[in-house]
Amino acid sequence: MKLATFQRRGAVSFGAISNGSITDLSHLGVDLMSLLAEGRLATQPVPPDAPRHPLHEIEWLPPIPRPGKIVCAGLNYRSHLALLNEPIPEVPVLFTKPGTSLIGSGHPIVLPHVSQKVDYEGELAVVIGKKGKYIPESAALSYVAGYTCANDVSAHDIEFRTSQWTSGKMLDAFCPLGSVLTTADEVPDPNALRLRTILNGETVQDESTSDMVFPVAALISYISSLSTLEPGDVILTGTPAGLGCMRDPPVFLKPGDQVTVTVDKIGRLDNPVIAEVL
């Protein structure tokens, strides 16, 4: 099932997508986050008489508009490490993004006036479906509610001012997420998917999620050993080779650009790029 949080005529709702339209489930009196917290996401039926809306009438919002935490993995693709001439990390390299960085598909990535080197980083994102601590790797995928596309937008000139990356990752509109949440039952193996990032019609990243150093289950297990995972938490799983900063000459985002992230079986995330207006 493909689910989405959306806005239509000023009202925020969520629904199930099929055949070019979305079935509005707002009559259930809950939101997508509530279904996750109550453990009802996998069993929630879609009433045949629920109202349906054409997709062109809705505004996409992040599937999980305000997760409890967004945990991101860096240096998690072998192709990326090879270009950087970096060794394979012994444990996952983690950082976080705040909720204020989230935007939905179709919403603009805003280039801040404090940075001149903003880059795309297409990623597979994992949404947690149930609470867990010290989750064994063998059981980790059973804690997943679903998957979505993400873009770990990064301001590299801010990011590398210090040894900690978060300052270049946490800016407003720097975590596009969506457009849909594809439930875990449709994705038997999250490490057998094709991930692509497309900039202005040109494919700039194209890799299988099998290239991850730490697969999805390993990331979930490791993160849960540090912090309790809760329904709605989001994990960004890293980005492959092909970043703009690694090109010759470097290519950084500019106003008027269009960035698309696609993951097979999961969906598509589209975002225009604009300059910040002070």
Architecture (CATH level 2) of domain 70-275? Alpha-Beta Complex (3.90)
| Alpha-carbon span 95 to 164, nearest angstrom | 8
Distances (CA, A) of 240 to 67, 164, 251, 260: 24, 20, 16, 15
Structural domain spans, the chain: 2-61, 70-275
Buried b (16+ CB within 10 A) or exposed e, 246-260: eeeeebbbeeebebb
Strand bridging mode 11-18 / 21-24: antiparallel
Tokens 């947690």 belong to 128
Predicted pLDDT of residue 49: 77
Q: Which two tokens stand for residue 276?
A: 């910040």
How do residues 65-109 score in pLDDT, each as one tens digit?
Answer: 999 999 999 999 999 999 888 899 999 999 999 999 999 999 999
pTM for this entry: 0.95
Which residues on adjacent β-strands are paired with residue 275? 111
Per-residue confidence (pLDDT) for residue 169, from 0 to 100:
97
**What is the token pair recorded at 65?**
């508009």
Condensed to tens digits (0 to 9), the pLDDT of residues 257-268 reads 999 999 999 999
Contacts of 167 (CB under 8 A, 6+ apart): 158, 159, 161
Give the C-alpha separation, 241 to 77, whole Å: 8
* 25 vs 28: CA distance, rounded Å: 6
Q: Give the Cα separation of 138 and 122 in Å (integer).
A: 27
| Arithmetic mean of pLDDT, 229-250 | 95
DSSP, collapsed to helix, strand or coil, labels residue 153 as: coil
